[in-house]
Amino acid sequence: MAEPKPQNAVSKLLNAAWVRPFLFLVFIVVAWDLAIRLFRIPAYQIPSPLDVVAVLRTEWPELLRQSWPTTYATVCGFLLSALFGIPVAMLIAGSKTVESYVYPLLVFSQSVPKIAIAPLFVVWFGFGIIPKVISAFLLGFFPVVVSAVQGFKSVDPDMVDLARAMQGSRFQVFRAVNLPHALPAIFSGLKVSVTLAVVGAVVGEFVGSNSGIGYVMQRSIGTFDLPTMFAALVILALLGVVLFWIVDRIEKLVIPWHVSQREDVIFAS
Amino acid sequence: MSPATKPIDVSTPAAHLRLVSDRAGDASGIKLSGVSKTYRTRDGDVPSLRPLDFHINDGEFFVVVGPSGCGKSTLLKLISGLLAPTSGEILVEGEKVTAPHGNVGIVFQNALLLPWRNILNNVMLPIDMKRLPRPQYLDRAKSLLRLVGLEGFEKKLPWQLSGGMQQRASICRALVHDPKIMLMDEPFGALDALTRERMNVELMRIQRETRKTVLLITHSIPEAVFLADRVLVMTERPGAVAAIYDVPLPRPRSLDAMADPVFTELVQRIRKHFFSQGTLD
């Protein structure tokens, strides 16, 4: 360790990665509760944190059951956006022709509000899982493409020349140089994508579904059941955090060499 | 006109400077005949190299100096086969260059080590690209690292090494597949002056031990004269051969060679080329 002197228990606890955001969360919840009491905000506008916790405690089997379809749709949509986004980015970065045809259209398509066209998917694919997956995919797709294109394009041309001069085939050079070089950018795109995929899945559930957290929210707003609605929000936030954390872990495994990961290496040596 | 600024006529050389010892009849080495390169861009054709004719002997240390943008790097890409010349032909070891032939090792100004590979695996990159048997070359890679003083750093990642050490590793990478030719594009341009001098001495030692043909491109005239068997001076863009000088300094050379009157006179003489063209390099 950097400090030779023994640390006391409090500072050790403060240094654990999860403690600081947790403390901040506690602060926000306390502020929320205080604000409701101070400004006398009625419960039909903002429920008190205790009410939300009570709902979370009593309704958790139902909330857990409803969060599965949402998680499933999010993960499927996210995987699809990675599966299609990275090859599309490869094509765009690899060919000027593809770029000139596809890229402007892709940006154009992003300006179409997904919420507005989500009902179309319900018309086409019914009330099942498919509209949600498509909606999650559409939101998650674009950040992957943009980051990956940037990653593939930022390779030093001299490095590619060097590998080509050693008679590496196009595929070999791509695998040895371009792809690993683009991975940090791809992962930053994937992290944005996974959180947007949650939003996409919920949008899909809003417009036409009979299951999922988005459906719970829609229903509880309809009945002014704000504590349930807030509980659903908490579940969604947790879902986003967990998925983001998983992608972050995978990133650490795949690109341990990157600048952003170096801290660990220095401490280890 | 004071004597100091009076231009020296470079076409009437002193007796010991101009013994161009070119064994042009030799099939080995690198032979360029009528090689020119013109880049086609949207704004029209940009000539980069005017027709070049010269021959680099086998095992020679050949240095090219020239002003910025005179097409030196283009020359390097032509010889490695990355670019095709607009006219003329290049022969490497008697074979016409039409595509990357892999008989070169390249060192750029930046070490360009892959950050996700450790030093040993970076050195092994040409072996992977050329699909050569890895175990067979592993020992060679290790002994090259020993040659440049990087023993014990095999498992380190590039960023854990200093700039000079990274550049040494990239020299190993250029040599690992045992090419005939080493192409170096301002290899020490990014290093500090002290490290640069040390690297020059070391490079001469490596060249002597490996007997490679070296084509080195530099902006530094003293560096060129110190390292070279022959120095090629290029004109401004589009580049052409202004002159080729023999460097009659004995080998092995130490940094003391830079105090030799032959050295200083030759440096002075080459510098005049850039003075007379109106550019101070």
Q: Which residues contact A33 (CB under 8 A, 6 or more apart)?
A: A48, A49, A50
Calpha distance B43→B31 (Å, rounded):
32
Question: Average pLDDT, whole number, for chain A?
Answer: 87
Q: Which single residue is written with the structure tokens 């863009």?
A: B237
pLDDT classification of B2: cutoffs 50, 70, 90? very low
Across the interface, of A158, A173, A180, the residue whose CB is closest to B112 is A158
Q: Which residues contact A9 (CB under 8 A, 6 or more apart)?
A: none
Sheet of B181-185, strands arranged across: B104-107, B181-185, B213-218, B61-65, B230-234, B241-246
Residue A122 in this model has a pLDDT that exceeds 90: no
pLDDT classification of A248: cutoffs 50, 70, 90? very high
Calpha distance B41→B54 (Å, rounded):
28
Phi, psi values for residue A241, rounded to 5°: -60, -45
**Subunit contact A167:B114, Cβ cutoff 8 A:** no
**Subunit contact A156:B112, Cβ cutoff 8 A:** yes
Q: What's the pLDDT at A5?
A: 53
**Subunit contact A165:B82, Cβ cutoff 8 A:** yes
Q: What's the pLDDT at A67?
A: 92
CA dihedral over A54, A55, A58, A64, signed as positive or negative: negative
Sheet of B95-96, strands arranged across: B44-56, B30-41, B87-92, B95-96
Q: What's the pLDDT at A262?
A: 66
Phi, psi values for residue B8, rounded to 5°: -80, 135
Provide Rg for chain B, Cα atoms: 19
Calpha distance B228→A48 (Å, rounded):
82
Residue in A159, A167, A179, A263 to test binding to B, most B beta-carbons within 10 Å? A167
Q: Which residues of chain A are at the B interface, by a Cβ-Cβ cutoff of 8 Å?
A: 156, 158-159, 161-168, 172-173, 176-177, 180-181, 255, 257-259, 262, 265
Calpha distance A5→B111 (Å, rounded):
40
Q: What's the pLDDT at A123?
A: 86
Q: What's the pLDDT at A268?
A: 37
Residue B113 in this model has a pLDDT that exceeds 90: yes
Q: Give the Å distances, CA to CA, from A174 to A177, B72, B216.
A: 5, 27, 28
**Subunit contact A167:B101, Cβ cutoff 8 A:** yes
Residue in A166, A167, A252 to test binding to B, most B beta-carbons within 10 Å? A166
Question: Average pLDDT, whole number, for chain B?
Answer: 84
**Nearest-neighbour CA in chain B from A183: distance (Å):** 11
**Which residue stretches of A8-156 are H helix?**
9-15, 19-38, 49-58, 60-94, 96-110, 114-125, 130-153
pLDDT classification of B23: cutoffs 50, 70, 90? low
**Subunit contact A166:B108, Cβ cutoff 8 A:** no
Contacts of B130 in chain A (CB under 8 A): 166-168
Domain coordinates in residue numbering, chain B: 22-103+180-281, 114-178
**Nearest-neighbour CA in chain A from B109: distance (Å):** 10
Mean pLDDT, rounded, for B157-164: 89
Domain coordinates in residue numbering, chain A: 1-41, 44-268
Calpha distance B175→B168 (Å, rounded):
11
Adjacent-strand bridge partners of A248:
none
**Subunit contact B177:A166, Cβ cutoff 8 A:** yes
Tokens of B220: 């530094």
pLDDT classification of B12: cutoffs 50, 70, 90? very low
DSSP secondary-structure letter at B246?
A: E
Torsion of CA A210, A214, A217, A219, to 10 degrees: -20
Adjacent-strand bridge partners of B49:
B37, B239
DSSP per residue, A202-220: HHHHHHS-SSSHHHHHHHH
Are A185 and A151 spatial neighbours (Cβ–Cβ below 8 Å)?
A: yes
CATH class label, B22-103+180-281: alpha beta
Contacts of B177 in chain A (CB under 8 A): 166
Are B76 and B215 spatial neighbours (Cβ–Cβ below 8 Å)?
A: yes
Pairing of strands B87-92, B95-96: antiparallel
Fold for domain A44-268? Answer: MetI-like fold (1.10.3720)
Tokens of B95: 């074979």
CA dihedral over A191, A212, A136, A29, signed as positive or negative: negative
Does residue A108 or residue A10 have the better pLDDT? A108
Mean pLDDT, rounded, for B202-222: 89
Does residue A52 or residue A262 have the better pLDDT? A52
Are B172 and B148 spatial neighbours (Cβ–Cβ below 8 Å)?
A: yes
Amino acid at the residue B194: L
Q: What's the pLDDT at A159?
A: 92
Tokens of A14: 């403060």
Mean pLDDT, rounded, for B21-29: 63
Are A94 and A156 spatial neighbours (Cβ–Cβ below 8 Å)?
A: no
Across the interface, of B82, B110, B114, the residue whose CB is closest to A177 is B114
